[in-house]
A and B are shown apart, each in its own frame.
Chain A
Amino acid sequence: DMKVTQMPRYLIKRMGENVLLECGQDMSHETMYWYRQDPGLGLQLIYISYDVDSNSEGDIPKGYRVSRKKREHFSLILDSAKTNQTSVYFCASSLRGDTEVFFGKGTRLTVV
């Protein structure tokens, strides 16, 4: 079953706390992505990973970092979360950046 799994689905954090969002895929896809979705805007790319330890900044990387130590896992880390990082975060994967992209169900993060 081709799947992208995100954990947790919902998260509330206080400003200044660290946040870890996890993403896994079972398709051995090389390319993985982290996006955020805000009302009225299209998804914005935070980071892209081309394979293990091969990560590149997207369009809005400030305040975020990522880790990919295994092909099937891609983590998004917020060091000292800010209120403007309240958003819905989506992880996605594709085979070598192919046209087919699979999305997780999203993590709704609220920073208070």
Chain B
Amino acid sequence: KTQVEQSPQSLVVRQGENCVLQCNYSVTPDNHLRWFKQDTGKGLVSLTVLVDQKDKTSNGRYSATLDKDAKHSTLHITATLLDDTATYICVVGDRGSALGRLHFGAGTQLIVIP
């Protein structure tokens, strides 16, 4: 059973618009949550990591929230650029050690059009 669900599956926005990506999970325990960006045909690049029970992070035009009580995270992208076109993957780590496992969502495919 999928333990990390991302929505929407795909999203098209115009350059300059803002967008919000959602991640709901059932992983227990939930030590941390990380958002990755995956360009087509490329590897995963980390955008941000959230650790606290209720956490917020900001990294340039990317900002993210985590609510461990609700097991829910959001990734906000402001003023989108064409280069933001990619798949965004939510990953929940059940421990902060080598004994832990990473649980991957299937990703949200974001397409930014001119």
Contact = CB atoms under 8 A, between A and B. Distances in A.
A99 B98 contact: no
B102 A96 contact: no
Interface residues of B, dominant DSSP: loop
A101 B47 CA distance: 11
Given A31-B98, A42-B2, A101 B105 contact: no
A100 B49 contact: yes
Given A31-B98, A105-B42, A106-B42, A99 B93 contact: yes
Nearest to A54: B98
A92 B103 CA distance: 14
Nearest to A43: B104
B101 interface: yes
B43 A101 contact: no
Interface residues on A, range: 20 to 34
Given A103-B43, A105-B42, A98 B96 contact: yes
Contacts of B77: none
Interface residues of B, number: 29
Nearest to B99: A97
Interface in B82-114: 89, 93, 95-107
A91 B93 CA distance: 17
A96 B98 contact: yes
Given A99-B93, A105-B42, A50 B105 contact: no
B35 to A, nearest CB: 12
Contacts of B31: 99
Nearest to B101: A45
23 contacts: A4-B43, A30-B98, A35-B104, A42-B2, A42-B107, A43-B104, A45-B101, A45-B102, A48-B98, A96-B97, A97-B97, A98-B97, A99-B34, A99-B93, A99-B96, A100-B49, A101-B34, A103-B36, A103-B45, A104-B43, A105-B42, A106-B42, A106-B43
